[in-house]
Amino acid sequence: MKFLFDSDTWQEIYGSIRKNKIRTVITIIGVLWGIFLLVVLLGAARGMENGFNKIFGNFATNSVFVWTQSTDTPFKGFQKGRRFSLNNNDIDVLKSEYAKEIKLLAPRNQTTNLIIHNFKSGDFRVSGDYPVLDQIQKKKLIYGRFLNERDILSYAKVAVISEDMYKQLFDKDEIPIGEYIKINAINYKVIGVYEPSNTIDFDGDTAYIPFTTYRKVYNTANQIDWMMITANEGTDIEQMERDILLTLKNLHKVHPEDQRAFGSANLGKEIGKVTGFLTGMQFLTWFVGIATLIAGVFAIGNILLITVKERTKEIGIRRALGATPKSIRQQIILESVFLTTIAGMLGIVFGSLILFFIDAAASNNEDIPLINPTVNIPIILIAFVTLIILGTLIGLIPAHMATVVKPIEALREE
């Protein structure tokens, strides 16, 4: 390691670089571009992943949504185009037959009504729900609480409203908890206010009231508009969706091949598509980045080979004056490692600056689906160390070429 601190060694490296400034700069840019691309692409991929996670937020991503439409195939005496509804019996059957697969099941009823508070009013969605909804689609409460089992059992006339509804119906700084709003000419006590979701949200501005209260007030009997089902971990969500639809078709006397009778959405399937895209993008990022790094390192090897060729006479003189093959080899390798290290550091710095500017731009523009585009420090260190190792290995080739130069032949070079 003594040669690392030898001023003569560094002076020779400096002299070699200064003689070939343009060539050296081009070489550094080649390596710099490789690690720069790796940092920026990995950061962008992480930013997209963070944006994707934010979109789904606290929503249970292994969920299936089911609703009814109209039949497109005659079956068991029923004509094409028949309309029907889900009911409480469907819920009981599904919970019984798929007890191992289903973790949460939320039947839902929804409508739109004029909601009034004092002299202020607005048309909003009203949803009859069970407390389990808050486990599937988590609400961040500003005031109060969400629905509970006591509300369900007592047919309580209570409501949880959104922040936008609160701003439209209440005066500024007015505390809404305990106040009453009128829905369909019936007074409901406000028990909670939730923030609007900036993630995936199927409801928007909705007043949530107990499912039992909704059924009694709107006289829906056993009718259910739609249901949200969350699967247990390890369950094949796509197979569960197919099985549930087949069971419901059997319960409602719908042809097994009828594709229109039930509507469904599989959140897990859609997430899988995006996850697959992100995985592919990360693979492509690593491939492009590493390939560019290797190309840059080979460029350094080529430059050093040319440098050795140009310095043949100089190397011959040094050999004649007593320089050992080891010292010449160390100098060439050190020059390779030095150029690689400088290029790698600059690439990391410039890549980090670009990610900083991307993050700043994305923070001010919701249309850019990137959130906190960063790269883990261990990954950067691994890439940097790998770059240095490659620089060392590629430097062995010109170093070997320099050591096989015979002093007499070198001195004859013109």
293 & 183 share domain:
no
176 & 208 share domain:
yes
Task: Write down which residue in 242, 267, 292 finishes a domain.
Answer: 267
Segment 85-106, tens digit of pLDDT: 999 999 999 999 999 999 999 9
Give residue 201's domain range.
Answer: 63-267
323 & 405 share domain:
yes
129 & 253 share domain:
yes
For 17, 309, 398, 405, 407, the CA distances from 413, given in Å and listed in that order, are: 22, 10, 18, 11, 10
Residue 315 CB neighbour total at 10 angstroms: 23
261 & 319 share domain:
no
Task: Write down which residue in 267, 297, 315 finishes a domain.
Answer: 267
280 & 150 share domain:
no
318 & 400 share domain:
yes
259 & 122 share domain:
yes
Whole-number pLDDT of residue 161: 95
82 & 44 share domain:
no
82 & 186 share domain:
yes
228 & 289 share domain:
no
pLDDT above 90 (res 233): no
Task: Write down which residue in 267, 293, 316 finishes a domain.
Answer: 267
pLDDT above 60 (res 346): yes
Segment 361-393, tens digit of pLDDT: 777 766 666 777 777 788 788 877 877 777 777
Segment 175-223, tens digit of pLDDT: 999 999 999 889 999 999 998 876 666 778 899 999 999 999 999 988 9
Q: What is the mean pLDDT of residues 70-76?
A: 90
282 & 216 share domain:
no
Domain count, the chain: 2
Q: What is the mean pLDDT of residues 109-114?
A: 94
Average pLDDT score over the chain? 80
- 227: its two tokens: 């249901």
